[in-house]
Structure 1
């Protein structure tokens, strides 16, 4: 008995196109956006860690930002190849995700921007996060156009 999908199934890539289905566009994770987001997290958490150390009277508050750089930098370097391999494909029928998601265009209720990323919300309430997009607004417009039959 398992508590969820097998780990291998989470990284299988987008589904193949169905017969007669036409690829409209694809959206890959962007390396620059990935590292910019990492830098933003390092600054935020480094500042918070340094401030916390100051608040607790630690004489070495510089350790907080250094720890944030090391921890988040190493984590991001370790996960970069996986995160940057993510590709979403938009067809004339579906939005296909990097973990095998297949969302029929008619099931998409909304596409909302969240800190430069996009959240695709289905009519049943499921949410899918499209991360590290070079141009989230253009991607959203492309999905909305496909939903409206203007692909």
Structure 2
């Protein structure tokens, strides 16, 4: 069983089951895909506006590249921990397992939706399916 030091104080008897870290390869892949899609979109928009269309591709690649570089240190340091009672995430996010209404897959991320409608995103996961399945196993037999 995985027993790391957690960022939040654990309650008496609470145990960390797993840790889900952001993955560098997934982070890079997601930003490359975003740059390509936005670059093509920008070129199409510029073409229909009658502007120099080819500028859209390099501009989008540059913009997404700067964004990825600037945010990498924060995004890649983010991690979530699954305990036998809750999920503990970055910026002191905490979700009790009993409050989870739904888990959704979005790209390389898992979105956690609570009974009150709060949403949390576990981003840049190398194995989003395995992460989702592991959380569902600890919800007492899956989601309702």
TM-score relative to the length of structure 1: 0.85
Question: 1:5-39: per-residue Cα shift (whole Å, max 9, x none)?
Answer: xxxxxxxx942222221010000011111111101
Counterparts of 1:44-83 in structure 2, within 5 Å, are 44-58=37-51, 60-83=52-75
In structure 2, the gaps of 5 or more residues are 1-5
Does residue 1:91 correspond to 2:86, yes or no? no
CA displacement at 1:114 relative to structure 2: 1.4
* C-alpha distance in structure 2 between counterparts of 1:14 and 1:42, whole Å: 33
Counterparts of 1:6-45 in structure 2, within 5 Å, are 14-45=7-38
Alpha-carbon contact 1:14-1:87 (below 8 Å) kept: no
Question: 1:31-58: per-residue Cα shift (whole Å, max 9, x none)?
Answer: 1111111011101110011112211222
Q: 2:105 aligns with which of 106, 113, 138?
A: 113
SS in 1 for 2:50: coil
Question: 1:98-128: per-residue Cα shift (whole Å, max 9, x none)?
Answer: 1111111111111111123111111111111
In structure 1, the gaps of 5 or more residues are 1-12
* C-alpha distance in structure 2 between counterparts of 1:132 and 1:32, whole Å: 9
Alpha-carbon contact 2:26-2:108 (below 8 Å) kept: no
Alpha-carbon contact 2:105-2:111 (below 8 Å) kept: yes
Task: State the match for 1:134 in structure 2.
Answer: 126
Give the total of aligned pairs: 137
Alpha-carbon contact 2:111-2:121 (below 8 Å) kept: yes
Runs of 4+ with >2 A deviation: none
